[in-house]
Amino acid sequence: MNEALEREPQLAATRLASAEVRVAVIGLGYVGLPLALTLGGARGVSVLGIDVDPAKQAALAEGRSYLRTVDGEAVARAVRERRLEASVELARVRECDAVIVCVPTPLSPQREPDLSFVEETARAIAPHLRRGQLVVLESTTYPGTTEEVLQPILEAGSGLAAGRDFHLAFSPERADPGSDVPTRTIPKVVGGATPRCLEAALALYGRAFDAVVPVSSTRVAELSKLLENVYRSVNIALVNELKVLCERMGLDVWEVIAAAATKPFGFMRFEPGPGLGGHCIPIDPFYLAWKARQYGLPTRFIELAGEINAAMPQHVVQRTMDALNERGLALKGARVLVLGIAYKRDVDDVRESPAVRIIELLQEKGALVVYHDPYVPRVPRMRQHRLDMVSVPLTDAALENCDVVVIATDHGCIDYARIVARAPLVVDTRNACHAVTVGRDRIVKS
C-alpha cells in the first residue's frame, strides 16, 4: 500500500501512469482473464485476479489456462514472472491501487437486467476500499449503473466518497473470443464519474492499451457498449429475416449477401445463422430496452430485432422437420446429430448458444438428439438450461446411422465434405458446406 496515495488521492493519476502498481481484476472469465494478461503485460503492473471459483485459482496457480481462447503459455509466463496471481479472497482488494470489476450481468427470466453479481461484488469489496484507489466497472450494463447502483453501495460500505476519496469509472469490455486480435490493440473507451476519476482511469489503461478513448461520463461509456451490440443485433436480425424470405423465394441468401458485399461503400456484411449467442448480443439490447421504458420510450426497433433473432432456433427445427418429412421421416423418433454447441466457431463458450435451444426444441418434439463439439466435451451447467449431455465421437458410423445432421456451429476443424458424404441429410445453418460439390442434394440450408 502506498502511503502517499493514502494521503493524496489526487496523485492517483500520476502514480497509475508510471509507478509500480497492483491491479485487482474481479471475475476471471472470457473478459477478465484476457484483461488481466493485458494489464499484467504493461511495464510496472502486476495483477491480482480474483474469482469465486477455486478451480480457476488452482489452474492459474499452476500456470494453466482454463479457456481455450486464452493462450496457456501466456498464462504460464505471467504467473512465472509474478505479473499474475489468483485468489478467491475479495478482501485482498485492499492490497491494490486499482480494482476492475468484470462480473456477469445476465438477464432475469423476465428479460430484465440482473445486476446481482455487480451488487454482491460491490458489497463485498466496499469495506476493504481505501483512499486513492481507482474502481472501474467493465461489466456491460445500462446507462446509469455505475453512478446509480455501484457508487452508492461502495460509498455506504466504505465511508468514502467517489470523486473525493476514491476514483470511479466505467470502461466497457470489448472482448472477442476466438479472435487473433490482441486485446491491447482494441481501443479502450473510458468514462469517469468526475474529471479526476477519468484522469486516473485513463492513466491506468493508457499503460496497457494502444489507444484509450475518453468520453464525458460513465453513462456515455455505458451506452456506447450497448450501441455496439444493438447495432449488430439489428443487422443480424435483418439478414435473418432476409434468409427466411429467400427460402420462400427459392434464393440462396448467402449468394445475395456476397453479391451485395461487393459494393465498396454504404454496405457492411452481416451473416444469418441459427440465432444469437454469447454474453453480449442476445442480452445487451434488452438492457437498453428496459432502461428506455423508464423514460417512456418503447424501443420497438430494438425489441423487434431481438424477437426475430430469438425465433431462429425454432425456424431451424421447422426446416429440419420439413426436410425429414420430404424424405418420408417424422421428427419424432428421428436420430439427430447436432454439430457444434458453442455459440460461435472455434470457441468453447456455450453461453446463450442457439444450439442449446435447438437441442431442447428437438427433444421436445421427440427427436433422439446427440451432439458433437470438439471444444465442448460436456455441456456445462447453465442458468436457464439443463442439458446433461456429452459430446459423441464424430465417427463414420455416427454420421451414417443418424437421420439428419444439423450444423449449428461451423468449427474450422471439421471436414464438411466428409459430413455431407456420410450423413443422409444435412441441415446447414452456417453455410459451412458452401465449398462441398459432391452430395449437394443432401444439403438443406437454414
Q: Residues with catalytic annotation?
A: 280
Please give the sequence-ordered ranges of beta strands (E in DSSP) within 293-360, or none if there are none: 335-339
Q: Indicate the helix (H) or strand (E) that contains 396.
A: helix 396-401
Q: CA 323, 327, 328: angle at the middle one, nearest 5?
A: 115
- Cβ neighbours of residue 294 closer than 8 Å, sequence gap 6 or more: none
AA identity, residue 359: I
Please give the sequence-ordered ranges of beta strands (E in DSSP) within 62-211, or none if there are none: 84-87, 98-101, 134-137, 167-170, 188-192
Please give the sequence-ordered ranges of beta strands (E in DSSP) within 38-145, or none if there are none: 45-50, 84-87, 98-101, 134-137
d(CA 232, CA 221): 18
- Own/partner contacts of 303-309, CB < 8 Å, gap of 24 or more, are 304/237, 305/230, 305/233, 305/234, 305/236, 305/237, 305/238, 306/233, 306/237, 306/282, 308/237, 308/240, 308/241, 309/233, 309/236, 309/237, 309/240, 309/275, 309/276, 309/281, 309/282
Q: Residue 120 burial (CB < 10 Å; 0-12/13-18/19+)?
A: middle
Length of the chain: 446
Please give the sequence-ordered ranges of beta strands (E in DSSP) within 64-162, or none if there are none: 84-87, 98-101, 134-137
Residue 197: CB atoms within 10 A of its CB come to 26
Q: Which of 395, 344, 386, 397 is nearest to 363 (CA)?
A: 386
Terminal-residue alpha carbon distance, the chain: 58
Strands 188-192 and 167-170: antiparallel
Q: Which of 343, 413, 348 is nearest to 377 (CA)?
A: 348
d(CA 397, CA 370): 13
